[in-house]
Chains A and B, each alone.
Chain A
Amino acid sequence: MAPVLEVKDLQVHFFLEEGTVRAVDGVSFSLEPGKTLGIVGESGSGKSVIGQSILRIVPHPGRIVNGEILLRTDNGNGQEQVLDLVSLNPRSRMARGVRGSEVAMIFQEPMNSFSPLHTIGNQIMEALRLHSDVSKSEARNRAIEMLAKVGIPQPEHRIGAYPHQLSGGMRQRAMIAMALVCNPRILVADEPTTALDVTIQAQILALLNRLQEEFGMAILFISHNLGVIAEISHEVLVVYFGRVMEQAPVDVIFREPVHPYTKALLKSVPGIDTPVRSYLATIEGTLPDPGEYIVGCPFFARCDECDGGTVCRDDPYELTLVGPRHYVACPPMCINL
């Protein structure tokens, strides 16, 4: 099936006074309809910026300097067209037409996404009426329908509730309802469960799975929690310092990781096999300087796998295919070791 979103060599730089920070430095992936791509990385990896770039809401002083974000959409006459989101002016009508109706986003803090002055019903209806021509009562019915779909009890009453009157889990559900009310093709989820309790998180993840089956949208799920990514994604992207370290289907990447960074991440979390109260494996060193430009693999300085070989540092960064849909940022010669 043709991918609904194709990102090619995306580069997003932040032009600060102290220097230029290459937040995203050559990331490529594609999203298939009905499937979830998980982007996992720690702070400073650039994962959130990838999500923001798709919606063209990268904050100043960041700018997309290179790359393509190709969205497969239809041009209103039932014909398919491919739209390059990078070429759009973020403030243009077209961009606003895409945002919300074709690509929607949910965030970590639902309290910050809702206006505290309006009811959630109003906000969901506003989202709907901005993108389609429906009457107020139709919009209201749709909103109640959506609230029921996301599992909010008594939606006809809750539609008049203000955000602060809902619990964290309910607010997150309401935000999902607002995002999906226009039936977008893509849902970008930026750490949507990080601020939630474990039991509520499980509810929300189950809800997203169910909604994906029902609506068929593609999900781009961004998180730092390896377990959450493992549970919800079909394919996983591991990002470090703005570049992809490893990309693979979800069962492969956690069962047989190849890149040293992925392996190190998995080892630093206590698992079923880790002896209790043993020292966890840590990653030596720290992130490179944000303003630094690294030609090769940015993880080289902290990598302790291959002894002495510097080819991954000196050669320009590139991804090597090691299995079906499995890419690694190590040069081919190192992988066969």
Chain B
Amino acid sequence: MSETEVLLEIKDLKKHFPIHKGVFRKVTGHVKAVDGVSFNLHAGETLGLVGESGCGKTTVGRMIMGAYRPTAGSIWFQPPNGRPRVDLAKVESAQMRPLRPYIQMVFQDPFASLNPRMTIREILAEPLIVNKVARGRDLEGRIRELVELVGLKVTHLNRYPHAFSGGQRQRISIARALALYPRLLVADEPTSALDVSVQAQIVNLALEIQDKLGLAYLFISHDLGLVRHFSQHIVLMYVGRVVEYAHAQPLFARPRHPYTEALMSNVPSTRPELVGRKIILKGDPADPINPPSGCPFHPRCLYAEEMCSQVEPKLEEVEPEHLVSCHFKDRLNLTGCDALGCAV
């Protein structure tokens, strides 16, 4: 398995949710939650999917998991052992079943993602039982392995979720996700609900597991600092579209999209005296029901010109492996995180 093998190829993914109004529930419009997203995730690597609320990143994650059926586009997934690629966007639920072990998810809310009426042992056993992977003594052995992998104790297996803190519950969620030896872990804001010191522990755990097991992560987050620490590639989304897609280091050194620049400058820093100017954007993020014409960012963009409200920019390369959707990508000289000295 080469490092550059493409595990997940997302092409032009779209998800439009219909809005029903009136007595007869006529469709009056669509929430364009995801409106043309493309990126590749390589085996064993971390891709950070970043954006603010309403940008559609969670919806992308859910579509990969099969919770929503995409309106358009494909999600090509490479199963192990040389089997052919499968388009998860078009697969039936019966075909999805054998693929489930390879793609697992860790959720944001550590309190809602564990069934409060099941013991930890039962929670961890569930994926193994459902997929008929292990029984009896093998099952118990595997459960103990998982518990120790995430840094908890075997004595914890008999307890219920209410006995654990947020960080510990997140570890249990991770253990559950790892039960079936997945190739890809979709982590939807896994540390947002945790304290800073606990966050660090979970990040370390995730790094350790990735080194040990060779997993790929799709790390969905709004926390730029954490994403920068963790990811090899970064995809930045705004109102359902990709605005920038690059390797982490060049992205932070020199972003090419005005939104990226603004986002980086807005991250609060513990050394504000080192940070350059803050770009305070006007107004609220655009409405996915009625996105602005042309480039969706143009009403808030400092560099917008007339063309931006009329023509929608395409996601194109500005440098090798650095894609941007901006009309002036070659022209603009934007300040990156390193120059801004942004430290969280």
Contact A198 B263 (CB under 8 A): yes
Q: Within residues 242 to 278 of chain A, which ones have a CB less than 8 A from any CB in chain B?
A: 251, 254-255, 264-266, 268-274, 276-277
Given A270-B226, A277-B229, A279-B204: A226 and B270 interface contact (C-beta under 8 Å): yes
Contact B268 A272 (CB under 8 A): no
Given A202-B278, A271-B343, A283-B197: A227 and B204 interface contact (C-beta under 8 Å): no
Q: Within residues 175 to 200 of chain B, which ones have a CB less than 8 A from any CB in chain A?
A: 195-200
Is A224 part of the contact surface with B, judged by Cβ < 8 Å?
yes
Contact B199 A268 (CB under 8 A): yes
Interchain nearest-CB distance for A11 vs B (Å)? 24
Contact A272 B341 (CB under 8 A): yes
Q: Within residues 33 to 56 of chain B, which ones have a CB less than 8 A from any CB in chain A?
A: 52-53
How would residues 266 to 297 of chain A score, 1 for a CB under 8 Å from any chain B CB and 0 otherwise? Answer: 10111111101101111100100000000000
Bound form: Cα–Cα A286–B165 in Å: 10
How would residues 208 to 231 of chain A score, 1 for a CB under 8 Å from any chain B CB and 0 otherwise? Answer: 000000000000000011111011
Contact of A270 among B228, B271, B341 (CB under 8 A): B228
Question: Taking CB as reference atom, which chain B residue is nearest A230?
Answer: B270
Bound form: Cα–Cα A203–B52 in Å: 14
Is A174 part of the contact surface with B, judged by Cβ < 8 Å?
no
Is B225 part of the contact surface with A, judged by Cβ < 8 Å?
yes
Bound form: Cα–Cα A302–B343 in Å: 25
Bound form: Cα–Cα A42–B165 in Å: 13
How would residues 148 to 188 of chain B score, 1 for a CB under 8 Å from any chain A CB and 0 otherwise? Answer: 00000000000000000110000000000000000000000
Is B272 part of the contact surface with A, judged by Cβ < 8 Å?
yes
Bound form: Cα–Cα A310–B203 in Å: 32
How would residues 164 to 190 of chain A score, 1 for a CB under 8 Å from any chain B CB and 0 otherwise? Answer: 000111100000000000000000000
* Across-interface contacts of A282 in B (CB, < 8 A): 197, 200-201, 204
Contact B284 A198 (CB under 8 A): no
* Across-interface contacts of B341 in A (CB, < 8 A): 272
Q: Within residues 202 to 250 of chain B, which ones have a CB less than 8 A from any CB in chain A?
A: 203-204, 207-208, 222, 224-226, 228-230, 248-249
* Across-interface contacts of B284 in A (CB, < 8 A): 167, 169-170, 200
Question: Taking CB as reference atom, which chain B residue is nearest A281?
Answer: B200
Given A198-B224, A199-B285, A276-B229: A224 and B195 interface contact (C-beta under 8 Å): yes
Contact B266 A198 (CB under 8 A): yes
Is A206 part of the contact surface with B, judged by Cβ < 8 Å?
yes
Contact B53 A197 (CB under 8 A): yes
How would residues 40 to 62 of chain A score, 1 for a CB under 8 Å from any chain B CB and 0 otherwise? Answer: 00110000000000000000000
Question: Taking CB as reference atom, which chain B residue is nearest A250?
Answer: B272
* Across-interface contacts of A231 in B (CB, < 8 A): 268-269, 272
Contact B196 A224 (CB under 8 A): yes
Prevailing SS type, chain B contact patch = helix
Is B262 part of the contact surface with A, judged by Cβ < 8 Å?
yes
Q: Within residues 3 to 54 of chain B, which ones have a CB less than 8 A from any CB in chain A?
A: 52-53
Q: Within residues 320 to 344 of chain B, which ones have a CB less than 8 A from any CB in chain A?
A: 337-338, 341-344
Contact A226 B224 (CB under 8 A): no
Contact A264 B197 (CB under 8 A): yes
Interchain nearest-CB distance for A197 vs B (Å)? 4
Contact of B195 among A43, A201, A251 (CB under 8 A): A43
Bound form: Cα–Cα A168–B230 in Å: 29
- Residue among B228, B248, B268, B338 with most chain A CB within 10 A: B268
Is B301 part of the contact surface with A, judged by Cβ < 8 Å?
no
* Across-interface contacts of A226 in B (CB, < 8 A): 196, 270, 344
Bound form: Cα–Cα A199–B300 in Å: 11
Contact A199 B263 (CB under 8 A): yes
Bound form: Cα–Cα A91–B267 in Å: 41
Is B280 part of the contact surface with A, judged by Cβ < 8 Å?
yes
Size band of the B side of the interface? 35 or more
Number of residues from A at the complex interface, CB < 8 A? 43
* Across-interface contacts of B343 in A (CB, < 8 A): 271-273
Interchain nearest-CB distance for A247 vs B (Å)? 16
Bound form: Cα–Cα A43–B197 in Å: 10
Is B302 part of the contact surface with A, judged by Cβ < 8 Å?
no
* Across-interface contacts of B166 in A (CB, < 8 A): 43
Contact B268 A280 (CB under 8 A): no
Interchain nearest-CB distance for B263 vs A (Å)? 6
Is B306 part of the contact surface with A, judged by Cβ < 8 Å?
no
* Across-interface contacts of A169 in B (CB, < 8 A): 284
Bound form: Cα–Cα A281–B155 in Å: 27
Contact B270 A270 (CB under 8 A): no
- Residue among A268, A283, A286 with most chain B CB within 10 A: A268
Question: Taking CB as reference atom, which chain B residue is nearest A167?
Answer: B284
Contact B280 A206 (CB under 8 A): yes
* Across-interface contacts of B208 in A (CB, < 8 A): 279
* Across-interface contacts of A42 in B (CB, < 8 A): 195-198
Bound form: Cα–Cα A197–B189 in Å: 13
Contact B280 A227 (CB under 8 A): no
Contact of B270 among A168, A227, A279 (CB under 8 A): A227
Given A202-B266, A202-B280, A274-B229: A280 and B200 interface contact (C-beta under 8 Å): yes
Contact B268 A227 (CB under 8 A): yes
Contact of A276 among B200, B228, B273, B342 (CB under 8 A): B228
Beyond the given A200-B285, A270-B229, A277-B230, please list 15 additional residue pairs across the A-B interface where CB-CB is below 8 A: A201-B268, A202-B281, A203-B281, A206-B278, A224-B195, A227-B268, A231-B272, A255-B271, A268-B199, A269-B196, A271-B343, A272-B341, A280-B200, A281-B200, A282-B197
Nearest 5 pairs of A and B residues by beta carbon: A227-B268, A270-B229, A268-B200, A271-B343, A197-B52
21 contacts between A and B (CB under 8 A): A42-B198, A197-B53, A197-B222, A197-B285, A198-B263, A198-B267, A201-B266, A201-B268, A202-B266, A202-B281, A227-B268, A230-B268, A230-B269, A230-B272, A251-B273, A254-B270, A270-B226, A273-B343, A276-B229, A283-B200, A286-B165
